[in-house]
Structure 1
């Protein structure tokens, strides 16, 4: 027997008046926040920027709870959570931001209940605005080909940086990996016998991703002709190096992608994540099934991968409307 889903109640202010004076976290809240940080880092092994985002949201929540007079995490209730979201809604935050913060609150209250810091999970019934989901911009196949060709033309001078840029662009497009995953690669993560790369994704989850011959040739050239020119005694095992010989960082990779895409006429201004979207879209357009694409990209949920079917359908609809005489 199927149960009807209950519509989340609208956000309403908490009955108790909220102080507008600056408030510091109570000792109990500060101690809980420190414990939660250790949980995110040591147990969930989240990336540093993800930890900062979670802690920022929860610190704001606990500050708001303190203004309501709820100075102990065990006292945090559903009305307090709704009051916090309502306050942010009144500040004009986007639906996407509100949805993200509601998720952060639910994860936090579930942790409070699971660890015995609260008698029950106050956030289990917390609703949140449904964010507007927009389709990501992606490159056409010819634009992706031109991106690589333009980068390869620049690398003809044989400079280590130019050779590196071709290799990282080829690998990003070939595998659809995240920019953080690319920057974290070590040389021995490559298996050239099978043309696969070992990738550590979110939560340090490991997956093996294949890549094609063009990417393999570009990486081989980087390892033989490019990397030795940038490597220094402290370079370590990093696959891709910056101009000073250290492991390349995400900002440098983003700069490379934006600069090279600017040389492709008519191409949208995408970052590395745009190449990830592009890889997923082209895989699906080429006939790959959703489950395979999910595994390649390292998505925890198939629903995340399914958004790319909307991209391909949208592109198909545009092509139909442009080409069919009865469209």
Structure 2
């Protein structure tokens, strides 16, 4: 079967991803970067025809990713796996389009990244951050306190929190409607501390920040628009610095802490799954590893015959 120049086939595949699959600009840029390196690797083997690629060439690319070269540093398992996914998607596309008669990547599996435990703060660190976010008392400080209380009190993703509208809150029932990945929605309870912070913000600060362009957005920036993810990240980072929390903190850290503290307190993993909006309980179960690690550390330091 006559082949097709690699560059043209890759260009067609990227157009397919952008137009028909509707991938985001960031994801598309990652695919473009990985496939450019793949084409360079094959060119080094004097291959410029899709049909000429063999499984050994793909395996060689994977090995090159892990070892690096003068122009590229070695990649870890996660980054290597991402590149292999891009390459496999490209070859599957070529097969569907009739460019090749065989998918040479069918037997090539992406490397499995080592399981990484989510980083969770202890309760004292979380409380210090929350306290630091609301001082000194200003309209923006009260907004910041409400935002961080919502993140920790509901386990919301940062995109879910900044996407909240005022009507998503039911202050009487103490619940909030969160819009998660894939358009999925869930209603989760809001704790008393978060409710108090929200009520204070709504009564004293949001009216001060509101402008014509505010619309229904719950959390507003200084110009009256909806608070962005980047600005919310900055709110947390600055609060953590003021609180003297030395470890790296991100909005997802509060989500991890929410889940870990619930499990530490005896919550059922499937309840935590529902609260987090995980499609599979397997995703949630990684947090049980965190609690086991904590138990192990406590046991090792406290039991007289642990060592």
Superposed pair shares fold, TM > 0.5:
yes
The 3 A distance-change label for structure 1 pair 192 and 61 is: farther
Residue in structure 2 matching 1:242, options 190, 197, 221 = 221
Q: Which residue of 2 aligns with 1:13?
A: none
Residue 146 (structure 1) aligned to one of 118, 122, 128? 128
Instruction: String of CA shifts for 1:20-42, please: whole Å, max 9, x gaps.
Output: xxxx973343122111123442x
Q: CA deviation at 1:164?
A: 0.8
CA–CA distance in 2 between the matches of 1:209 and 1:82? 46
Out of 82, 85, 94, which is 2:62 matched to? 85
Give how far 1:78 is off: 3.8
State how far apart, in whole Å, the 2-side matches of 1:225 and 1:113 are.
Answer: 61
Task: Confirm whether residue 34 of structure 1 aligns to residue 15 of structure 2.
Answer: yes
Segment of structure 1 superposing worse, 180-189 or 111-120: 111-120
Find the counterpart in structure 2 of residue 3 from structure 1.
none
Change (3 A) 1:265 1:85: same
Unaligned runs of 5+ in 1: 1-23
RMSD: 2.9
Aligned to 1:274: 253
Superposed counterparts of 1:149-188, under 5 Å: 149-152=131-134, 154-155=135-136, 157=137, 159-188=138-167
- 1:65-104 mapped onto 2 (5 Å cutoff): 69-71=47-49, 78-91=55-68, 92-104=74-86
TM-score (norm 1): 0.78
Q: Tell me how far apart the structure 1 counterparts of residues 52 and 75 of structure 2 sit (CA, whole Å).
A: 26
Shift of residue 110, structure 1, vs aligned partner? 5.1
Q: Call closer, same or farther: CA 1:25–1:191 in 2, change over 3 Å.
A: farther
Following the alignment from structure 2 to structure 1, what is the Cα–Cα distance between the partners of residues 104 and 269? 35
Counterpart Cα distance in 2 of 1:47 and 1:199: 22
Checking the alignment, whether the CA contact within 8 Å between 1:138 and 1:278 is kept in structure 2 is yes
1:57 paired residue number: 34
Distance change (3 Å), C-alpha of 1:107 and 1:173:
farther
| TM-fit CA distance, 1:288 | 1.6
Quote the residue 2:108 is aligned against: 126
CA contact (8 A) 1:138 1:268 kept: no
How far apart are the structure 1 equivalents of 2:220 and 2:6? Answer: 42
Post-superposition offset of 1:272: 0.7
Q: Deviations over 1:1-23 (max 9, x none)?
A: xxxxxxxxxxxxxxxxxxxxxxx
Gaps of 5+ in 2: 69-73
Listed as ranges, the matches of 1:301-312 within 5 Å are 301-312=280-291
The TM-score with structure 2 as length reference comes to 0.82
| 1:262 to partner: Cα distance | 2.2
SS in 2 for 1:235: coil
SS state at 1:198 partner:
strand
Q: 8 Å contact 1:33–1:59 — kept in the other structure? A: no
Aligned residues: 296
In 2, are the aligned partners of 1:139 and 1:278 still within 8 Å (CA)?
A: yes
**What SS does structure 2 have at the residue aligned with 1:53?**
helix
> What displacement does 1:160 show?
1.5
